[in-house]
Copies of this chain bind each other. A is one copy, B any other.
Amino acid sequence: MERNVIVGQSGGPTAAINSSLAGVYRTAKDRGAKKVYGMLHGIQGLLQESYIDLSDHIKTKLDEELLKRTPAAFLGSCRYKLPAIHENKDVYEKIFAILDKLDIEAFIYIGGNDSMDTIKKLSDYAIITGHPCRFIGTPKTIDNDLPLTDHTPGFGSAAKYIGTSMKEIIRDGFCLDYGHGLVTIVEVMGRNAGWLTGATALSKGEDCEGPDLIYLPEIAFDLKKFMKKVKKLLEIKTSIMVVVSEGIKTTDGTYVCELAKPIDFVDGFGHKQLTGTASYLATYVANELGCKTRAIELSTLQRSASHLASRVDILEATQAGGAAVMAADEGDSGKMVVLERISDDPYQCGTSIRDVHKIANGEKLVPREWINKEGDYVTDEFIAHVLPLIQGDVSPIMVDGIPRHLLTPKELSHRS
């Protein structure tokens, strides 16, 4: 590389998104990039010329290691949807003027479905106008719902945290004895795709029974059938563990969490904010069956728990960041890096690139055959697919008993 690189982060945070950033930085530097800029709050920040020189923040190899262990987007994230090119050319002209001013040859965007829409539009605009800048996406989402890639960086760490926490919650449930039984409803992220919800089954093993019922958003939720199952389970167990995706819907398409109260918050991409599914079902079960219930939302913790990151995930996220820079350096544009599983045993995975037009706004759900017939558990094939992705640990760098992170530009600005 002979000129500069700019990198941004977009969409929901993960425990691995900064490893991709570290990968972009390292490979860009190794390939001769003069400067590596970071957009603050993605494309939205760039439009306001809000960016940093990453070398001012990553000064040592230790900083790079700390960055990999820092959860949530180091540069700040956004949920900004670019207008269609024919709707508003001004926005594109502004962006490209900034890119020219910064002498950018490669634009790397780390994000999920929605973020790949940004790469698609910018690379289209570059083709239309004959601009030489290259645009490459790096996948990132705990939801694991991007098409064409075997899995997404960020998913493995979230799955490891979810499997571990699930096991600890199961243990907690069994040790109590409430007479009429205890039903715990655990709510997991994943609007349409049940990858994370299914990952609770990773808790199952020689030392743990795992959850009793797992409801993925891919299958319509039948409240009557569910109540029947819980009632039957309560006859044989004192503690029942039910896992639900935040996005489960009844057969008529209503979100279960909407049964309790209407949803009033909708984000920039038109997505409803889902929450309250576990709480609704816990109250419902308590009223119907007269047993003790509790609702647990894994909430934000499941996407930001870098203290329990998967080593495979962190390595792959770094690798994906580096591969994006390599692709741009070799002349590609309008592409997203994908992970390609080469073999299962031993697990081996490489990177490749695919046309971002085939990915943006698409969604990969859990295949029907990886959910059991009854629609209330994942199959052994699901577990075999996910298991390699949660292997190995990344020891946190502990200072005074708490994991150390790299201070973000935003927090740094609060201090000055």
Contacts and interface: CB of A to CB of B under 8 A. Distances in A.
Interface of A: 9, 13, 41, 44, 66, 70-78, 160, 163-165, 167-169, 171-172, 174-177, 184, 202-203, 205-209, 237-238, 265, 292, 294, 296-301, 303-308, 310, 387, 390-393, 398-408, 410-411, 414
Contact of A300 (B164, B169, B310, B407): B169
A400 B184 CA distance: 25
Contacts of A299: 294, 296-297
Contacts of A402: 160, 163-164, 167, 202-203, 205, 390
B163 A78 contact: no
Given A305-B165, A411-B209, A177 B387 contact: no
Nearest to A74: B175
Given A205-B400, A298-B301, 6 more contacts: A9-B175, A13-B171, A71-B171, A208-B411, A297-B299, A387-B401
Given A72-B174, A237-B414, A304-B171, A164 B77 contact: no
B177 A77 contact: yes
Given A71-B171, A177-B76, A392 B403 contact: no
Contact of A13 (B160, B175, B238, B308): B175
A73 to B, nearest CB: 4
Contacts of A176: 13, 76-77
Contacts of A171: 13, 70-72, 304, 405, 408
A308 B310 contact: no
Contacts of A392: 401
A202 B400 CA distance: 9
A310 B387 CA distance: 27
Nearest to A203: B402
A72 B182 CA distance: 15
Contacts of A310: 401
A415 to B, nearest CB: 9
A38 B370 CA distance: 41
Nearest to A40: B177
B304 A168 contact: yes
Contacts of A292: 265
Contacts of A398: 393
Contacts of A206: 407
A403 B301 contact: no
A401 B296 contact: no
A407 B390 CA distance: 22
Nearest to A204: B402
B73 A175 contact: yes
15 contacts: A75-B175, A76-B177, A164-B307, A164-B402, A168-B300, A168-B307, A202-B400, A205-B402, A205-B404, A207-B404, A207-B407, A294-B300, A296-B297, A308-B308, A390-B402
Contacts of A265: 292
A13 B390 CA distance: 27
Contacts of A305: 165, 168
A249 to B, nearest CB: 22
Name the residue in A300, A392, A393, A398 with the highest tally of chain B Cβ atoms < 10 Å from its Cβ.
Answer: A300
Contacts of A167: 402-403, 405
Name the residue in A73, A74, A398, A405 with the highest tally of chain B Cβ atoms < 10 Å from its Cβ.
Answer: A405
B172 A303 contact: yes
